Amino acid sequence: MGIFRQSILQILNRLRGKFTKRKYYCILMAGELHFNRTRIAPTPSGFLHLGNVLSFVITVAWARKTGASILLRIDDLDRERYQPRYVQDIFDTLYFLELPWDEGPRDLTDFEQHYSQVHRLPLYQEALQVLGNHGPVYTCTCSRSTIHGVTTNSAYPGTCRNKYYPLDTAQANWRLYTGDSKPLEIRTLPQGTMTTTLPPSMEDFVVRKKDGMPAYQLTSIVDDLHFGVDLIVRGADLWPCTIAQHYLASQLPANSFHQTAFFHHALLTNAAGAKLSKSAGDTSIQSLRKGHNNSSAIYGLLSRTLGLQEQAHNWETLAEQLPDMLHQPHGINE
């Protein structure tokens, strides 16, 4: 071993003894980059699959690299799709695969008693009230089928923009008027800042659903601000949501959302090249567990699916092999 390499190892070993593991990773790999908090935010709408695990691993790796605390946030406000067994599956998967988190619920009971989004409804309602009073929202009575009858893509054609229905109309969405939107600056990793505009699919997006409940874009921002999240790691399919959330944050009272950093990663695809989906019944972690696979076997399967040279056997050995943690350049999913 050369003298240079030996001395590097000595310095690293000295650092290793001096700092906690998390701090050590932070110094070793990320230089100046530091964040306070990130989150793992699965939706309990089905059983988790390998693609979800990949996303968790990338989030955990970024957290350990940058000193961010990991919050487990479970978005359960879609009450039609909510099922306790899907929340249980989130805990089962995280524990089984030894994926760490530092804050948030430890089990289903703790979640329902202390962390369910239902407890934060007053916060979401407050934000909706600001939007309602301040004027950028309007009532939309269109059904999904009437919209699809008008447009070929998912863009809203603006049908109700100038109809001025009262905001308290029953069974109607609230849409955010985005006609005046200007280019938005988004803090992105690893490159810095992206300037972009709302994609057509996000024009006049829904902020309150027909049942009166706040929509995902709104709850996500309110939660991230509430918990002090300053690093968001998510799949590249959510890039349009990232842009919409920046626009929405700009319409809310002064807040720090524009300082949040975003990392968008590539998605795991099936043999046909489509992203994995809970509803399409892609191989769930639950069924792999029931098939007597241990956690090492599941990380091995994920390594093979990604085409990695070496089989990983835990999140650390998987993260080490991910090329730049599968960074996905922005814009390709707009």
Judged by CB under 5 A, the stretch of 93-101, 108-116, 132-140, 305-313 that binds Zn ion is 132-140
Report, in Å, the least distance between residue 132 CB and Zn ion: 17
- Please, which residues have CB within 8 angstroms of residue 73's CB and are 6 or more apart in sequence? 39, 40, 41, 104, 115, 223, 227
Is residue 167 involved in binding Zn ion (CB under 5 A)?
Answer: no
For Zn ion, the closer CB: 176 or 184: 176
CA distances in angstroms from 203 to 85, 122, 165, 247, 251, listed in the order given? 35, 26, 19, 10, 14
- Size, binding site for Zn ion by CB under 5 A: 4
Report, in Å, the least distance between residue 173 CB and Zn ion: 7
Q: If we measure between CA atoms, which residue out of 93, 87, 34 comes closest to residue 315?
A: 93
From 40, 60, 72, 140, residue interacting with Zn ion (rule: CB under 5 A): 140
From 142, 225, 306, 319, residue interacting with Zn ion (rule: CB under 5 A): 142
Is residue 27 involved in binding Zn ion (CB under 5 A)?
Answer: no
CA distances in angstroms from 311 to 54, 56, 96, 305, listed in the order given? 14, 18, 18, 10
Report, in Å, the least distance between residue 156 CB and Zn ion: 7
Q: If we measure between CA atoms, which residue out of 51, 43, 54 comes closest to residue 274?
A: 51
For Zn ion, the closer CB: 159 or 333: 159
Report, in Å, the least distance between residue 164 CB and Zn ion: 12
Is residue 169 involved in binding Zn ion (CB under 5 A)?
Answer: no
192-196 and 184-188 as β-strands: parallel, antiparallel, unpaired? Answer: antiparallel
C-alpha–C-alpha distance, residues 258 and 158, integer Å = 27
From 88, 125, 159, 201, residue interacting with Zn ion (rule: CB under 5 A): 159
For Zn ion, the closer CB: 140 or 285: 140
Judged by CB under 5 A, the stretch of 160-168, 228-236, 245-253, 317-325 that binds Zn ion is 160-168
Q: Hey, what's the torsion of the CAs at 179, 182, 187, 192, to 10 degrees? A: 140
- Residue pair 228/36 in contact (Cβ under 8 Å)? The answer is yes
A 10 A CB-CB count for 111 gives 21
For Zn ion, the closer CB: 22 or 161: 161
Give the footprint of Zn ion on this chain (CB under 5 A): 140, 142, 159-160
